[in-house]
Structure 1
Amino acid sequence: MQNRFTNFAELASFVADARDDADLTQTYEGAFIEANEMARLNLVDAPEALDMPDPDQVRAAVDMMMQTMFDVLRDTRMDAYAADLAWGFANSFHVVAKRIECREDDAAKKLGELARAYDPSEIYATELEDTQLLCQTLQGCREAMECMRDHACEVYRVETGWPFSPVRGSRVSSALSASMIDARDYLASRARERREQFAPEGPVVAFSGGQQWEDANLLWDGLDSIKARIPEMILATTAQAKGCDAVAQAWAASRGVKVIQFRLDRSQGNRAAFVRNDRILGLKPVEAVICEGSGIQMNLAQKLRQAGVPLHVVKLSHQRVNGAQKRA
């Protein structure tokens, strides 16, 4: 895959500069905070005064872990496997974050049950406070782990030109008594956070294309043009692993655009692709880009036209000679 860097030294310099900006520092500082002086990792042991790791040290460790693998294997016969190993590192952060999230969800469920079954006893108040502290601790650990994962994923993207994608799932971190209000407020704020993560709000731009495509710059330029007009856009793709969809997802990762991936629902049999098209249309996209591919793209383009969605059709003949993969 071609890129705009003439040698690996230039790429390494670009990667280092990209990761030394204030945004990354602020992201780590915002994720590695201590919401409470005490931490509770389970309901059996007593809470402890455990500090969060130093965000600068964690940031350096993740950077070293990811970058060293690329640097050591670069320009050797093992170079081709560096991306696979780096994906595994990033995926490890993702898997651990999901495990913490599952524990957090269980604790939040119990907290909700307690909040709905008020009891004025001291035992109840203690259990409520312990469960709330457990939720807060797990939430902080999840957010920190997701920060590390996102950093690792960004190193992977810059080095390979492709966004990290997990194998499956999203990647996507008393008035009755005083503690009672705290519990309800906590649950409400947590619910809002998770809704935004898994149901982002914003104008949807639909995208689909065939699996054979060469001129990535053409698609990047077109998507950049749309984002200039719709800064808060969300990209909805047909989630194919290669070709146009993969190019669009790489663009979205580079530009910080959220992506909704509509994978095929195999339970729908031969209708799966057409059902997927209907689901994309159900998002009421404000604009769409369809690249020449198969009858599936033709069907989606026809439905978009019938719905009155502004549509850009990009044909194979529109590609420029020697279209190079764009990375930024």
Structure 2
Amino acid sequence: MYDSFASQLAGLDLSGFSITPAPFNESDFPCEDAMAHTLGAVWSDLFALFHDTALEADAEDLAWGFVNLFHRAASRKSVQVDRASDEIRALLASADGSEVHSSNLEEQMLRAQSAEASMFAFEQMREVAAGLYRDETGSSWKPVSGSRARHSKTMTSAVIDARDFLRVRNERRQAAHSPEGTPVVFAGGRNRFESEADAKTYAANIWATLDKVRDVVPDLFLVHGGDGKGADRLAASWAERHEVQQLTFGLERRLGARAGFKRNEQMLALNPRYVVAFPGNGVTERLVIEAKKQRITVVDRRGPLGSCPG
């Protein structure tokens, strides 16, 4: 049977035929309401399964992995766009005006546009899932490595010139990694509390303080150390709930004991409007001292449970 089918294929005249990506449009992808409804239902059913069981302790890890599924899918599509973009650059450099060259260029453009549209869809799904993760755990979701950039949702199907596509692609990539607005630095450490009520009071003080700062600086973007625990975690959760962009400065471990002070220098180099300080260690104390030296206004909440110090 196989030999017969293969011989029939061999006898076909396939000249003039080529396999190209199928054309697409925005209606080919799930709408935002469908994403929110479906992912919310899956999330609810999945974690209800673990409630009050021996697996409940593992729920947060599973929640992180659920979001990461869509993050990885978006990353793979981004790689495909990059590869197609490289092909477009090469074709532009070797343009000879022939019909074959033009056809190849159009095909790579379609591949790039299709992959980018899929990337946007997976990023939307990741953001929906990240919101569910935040509501479940109280923490802002972030990948193990790299950043959680979100590109413009605008489709590239309207782009008809390859050079324009490359320019727009570059602009989107820069915009996804470059927050716009007025920087506000947030700093605080990890704290232990005597009761759950104290922990809730501390969190409420962080969020209330950031609310007040945002009232004064509506276009703020939040600059912090990106610690997955303690004050940074609470500030990141506030920023995500209010759709405030974040810029995180991780520690350069190779610097050893100087890593925290180097990070202070980097954050203050942004010339922030405010430095918001909650209880922390000596690095936080030094950040406050340096900010005052540079005449940067410090919103000092280093008192008990994140109140104004006495």
TM-score range, shorter chain: 0.7 to 0.9
Once the two structures are TM-superposed, the CA of residue 273 in structure 1 deviates from its matched residue by 1.4
The amino acid that maps onto 2:91 is L
Is contact 2:73-2:122 (8 Å) kept? Answer: yes
Q: Give the counterpart letter for 2:170 in structure 1.
A: A
Distance 1:57 1:247, change over 3 A: closer
- 1: CA distance, partners of 2:248 / 2:96: 45
Question: What whole-Å deviation, never above 9, does each CA across 1:202-232 have from its counterpart, x for those lacking one?
Answer: 1010011111163111111000001111122
1:270 equivalent in structure 2: 257
Where does residue 190 of structure 1 map in the other structure? 169
Secondary structure in structure 1 of the residue aligned to 2:161: helix
Deviations 1:179-203 (A, max 9, x none): 9971111222222211111012110
SS at match of 2:185: strand
Q: Deviations over 1:221-277 (max 9, x none)?
A: 000001111122100101222111111111111111111111111232332212111
Q: Aligned partners of 1:182 and 1:269: how far apart in 2?
A: 50
Residues 103/268 of structure 1: CA separation in 2 closer, same or farther (3 Å cut): farther
Matched, 1:99 2:86: no
Match in the other structure for 1:22: none
Q: Is the 8 A contact 1:211 1:240 kept in 2?
A: no
Corresponding residue of 1:298: 285
Give secondary structure in 2 for the equivalent of 1:91: helix
Determine if contact 2:159/2:165 at 8 Å carries over to the other structure.
Answer: no
User: Is the counterpart of residue 46 in structure 1 residue 20 in structure 2?
Assistant: yes
The TM-score with structure 2 as length reference comes to 0.81
How many Å apart are 1:75 and its aligned residue? 3.6
Counterpart mapping for 1:75-224 below 5 A: 75-172=52-149, 173=151, 182-212=161-191, 214=199, 215-224=202-211
- After superposition, the C-alpha distances for 1:103-123 in whole angstroms (9 at most, x for unaligned) are 211222222333344321222
Q: Which runs of 5+ in 2 are unaligned?
A: 1-17, 152-157, 193-198
Greater relative contact order: 1 or 2 (C-alpha under 8 angstroms, separation 6 or more)?
1
**What is the CA–CA distance in structure 2 between the aligned matches of 1:225 and 1:81, rounded to whole Å?**
36
Does the aligned pair in 2 maintain the 1:202–1:234 contact within 8 Å?
yes
Q: Which moved more, 1:68-77 or 1:207-216?
A: 68-77
* Larger radius of gyration between Structure 1 and Structure 2: 2
State the number of aligned residues.
272
Name the counterpart of 2:248: 261
Once residues 130 and 201 of structure 1 are traced to their aligned partners in structure 2, the CA distance between those partners, rounded to angstroms, is 35
Match of 1:241 in 2: 228
Identity fraction in percent: 32
1:313 CA drift (Å): 1.6
Note the alpha carbon deviations across 1:60-101, whole angstroms, 9 max, x for none: 332222221222223444333222212111111111211111
